[in-house]
Amino acid sequence: MTISLYAATIPSYQQILESVSRLLDKAEAFCTESGIAPGDIIQARLFDDMLPFAYQVKSCAVHSIGAIEGVRKGIFSPDITPPPESFPALKARIDETRAKLKAIDPAEIDGFVGQDMRFSFGERQMDFTAENFLLSFSQPNFYFHATTAYDILRWQGVPLGKRDFTGRPRMKI
């Protein structure tokens, strides 16, 4: 069985980003119900040397549509802009990402196969093919940040379960 690069990336990004969007809704509702300042969750970290919840959410966008945009240009550099600082702004970033992913033509993604791709951050340069960049670098980073965002919310007491992270599976129709 052959699977396309599009099928190996975009639907999974969409599935987890839909979950991240719902996590944001649940986190905001939790703050309202519990009387917790939204900033306390938005800036929460699992450990002092880790980046906060807002960064984790932003990185889900960076390692999905940002990765695709990087492949289009042939170079990807991490987005070092500050993350959004409110639930509505975080939600807007995820919703914009989801809309951009939905608009992608599968043939474009499949056409990336074999294309040269470079990760560049300061002096660090890593060369890839587009498919290896997406599947071995960006996709693992995407899942790491989505998982870390979920874990921060659980650690803060937001009532979540596994299905809140996994979202809707793509079942046979």
Q: Tokens for 39, please give them.
A: 């900033």
Q: Which residue reads 């914009």 in tokens?
A: 96
Identify the helix (H) or strand (E) that includes residue 151: helix 139-155
- Give pLDDT tens digits for 14-43: 999 999 999 999 999 999 999 999 999 999
- Give pLDDT tens digits for 81-133: 999 999 999 999 999 999 999 999 999 999 999 999 999 999 999 999 999 99
Look at residue 172 in the predicted model and tell me its pLDDT: 85
81 Cβ contact list (under 8 Å, min separation 6): none
Look at residue 171 in the predicted model and tell me its pLDDT: 84
Q: Tokens for 52, please give them.
A: 């906060």
- Give pLDDT tens digits for 40-72: 999 999 999 999 999 999 999 999 999 999 999
105, 138, 131, 104: which is closest to 117 by C-alpha? 131
pTM for this entry: 0.94
- Spatial separation of the C-alpha atoms in residues 64 and 6, rounded to whole Å: 12
